Amino acid sequence: MSFYKNEQKRIEALIKEPLLELVLQYLPHLQVGGATNREDVWEVVAMKLNTHRVAATLESRDNRDNRTDEIPIFSGRYVADVFKKLIDEYSSKVRRSSLGHECNAEAARMKERSSDRVDALLYELYILRYYDVEVMAKLSKERLEECAKEIIYGDTNGGPTTTKDVLAAAKEQSAIDERELYEAKLAQKMAQLDKLTEDNKRLLDLNHELLSNRN
């Protein structure tokens, strides 16, 4: 297997759990109103995932230098493709295991047999795969618009009401979150440097005292 494919597998393994959590939270693939709305919410998911990766890297003990400049930046299209691959693989597994029986029931049995969080997330997303159709079938146009806002956690009381507004708000919040992460890490580094400086000063004073006693 090529280095590129190995690296892609490594990245997908790292991001699949937080990605699935974000997809379950925002349901970008089920957004009503056309491809543009879905793409906007996928970009929101990508930005949230990027912020999560920055935080994980800054906290990682395996990355001593906390090199956030080496973290890949994911686009909405990329995370949508990764999700599609994960949910397609899960759906195929359900169909193979069902042996002609009702797929949702088989998916529920598979969930019961597994203690893996990723499997639990995939199950919930699998069950919701036609939720947008249910919404359109059951609700009036006015109620459908309100439900779409609720699905993406928009605030109907003066907050974001369209996917463009949500995307703009997410960009602003993402920048704030990442800046706060960097500031917190910088403050931690400065505190460590101050402690090191103080320890060095104490050692120098002790050394000076020892030399004075010898003289």
The rounded distance, in Å, linking the Cα atoms of 179 and 184 is 9
- Does the pTM exceed 0.85? no
Show the tokens assigned to 87.
């949910």
Which pLDDT belongs to residue 26?
Answer: 94
**Phi, psi torsion values for 60, nearest 5 degrees:** -70, 135
Residue 73's pLDDT band (cuts 50, 70, 90): confident
Which pLDDT belongs to residue 66?
Answer: 54
Residue 146's pLDDT band (cuts 50, 70, 90): low
Among 12-16, 54-58, 193-197, whose mean pLDDT is lowest?
Answer: 54-58
**Phi, psi torsion values for 73, nearest 5 degrees:** -95, 120
Which pLDDT belongs to residue 78?
Answer: 95
- State the total domains in the chain: 1
Residue 142's pLDDT band (cuts 50, 70, 90): low
The rounded distance, in Å, linking the Cα atoms of 89 and 132 is 21
- Size of the chain, expressed as the number of residues it contains: 215
Which pLDDT belongs to residue 150?
Answer: 62
The residue segments making up the domain with residue 86 are 3-214
Cβ(106)–Cβ(47) below 8 Å? no
